[in-house]
Amino acid sequence: MKRPAATRPGPPCSQKLIELNHIEAPKGLIEQRLSEVMEELRVQRTYGGEDPRRIQFNEAQLGDLRTRAKFAAQAELLIERVAQLETIEVTDAEIDEKLQALADSRGQQIEAIRGYFQKENAIEDLRGRLLQEKVIDWLLENAELQSVDPTNDNDDAVAEPAAEPAAAE
């Protein structure tokens, strides 16, 4: 059964997977993710009323953003590797299904939503998000759950994947 995105395990689940499956992300990928995170924050701050020409990040903020970018790059590589090992793919039909769901939720025609995604070159981003959802669903379905003592404050007691993926090539 699929969970709504808001209730799916996110960073804590990904964090544990990264800890259990050490993956070094290439510097170029980290820098690309850093640029994306910075741009996303600029857009958010601009929507919040700030002048986009005046938005800058101090060293502490850049350090935090770099950590987030490294995490995102590692998670991306891990997701891709699990998908490859388990032959998990996103079909064009699944893309169409998601676009239809977006169109329905906005009261628009699917052609308008598809056109927007194509114009913004966002179809592959959508495919990546859907692949991430499918891999996380697969991991949860195949996890070996452990009993946890609720009085024990041990963060190590987390569901672990049934099979460890190999390091990224």
Query: Over its length of 169 residues, how does the chain's per-residue pLDDT go in tens digits?
Result: 343 333 344 556 677 778 778 888 999 999 999 999 999 899 999 999 988 888 899 999 999 999 999 999 999 999 999 999 999 999 999 999 999 999 999 999 999 999 999 998 899 999 999 999 999 899 889 888 777 777 765 555 444 444 554 444 4
Residue 141, classed as helix, strand or coil, is helix
pTM of the model: 0.67
CA dist., res. 104 & res. 141, Å (int): 29
At 10 the pLDDT is 54
Residues 6+ apart with CB under 8 A from 112: 103
Instruction: Give, as one character, the DSSP assignment of residue 52.
Output: G
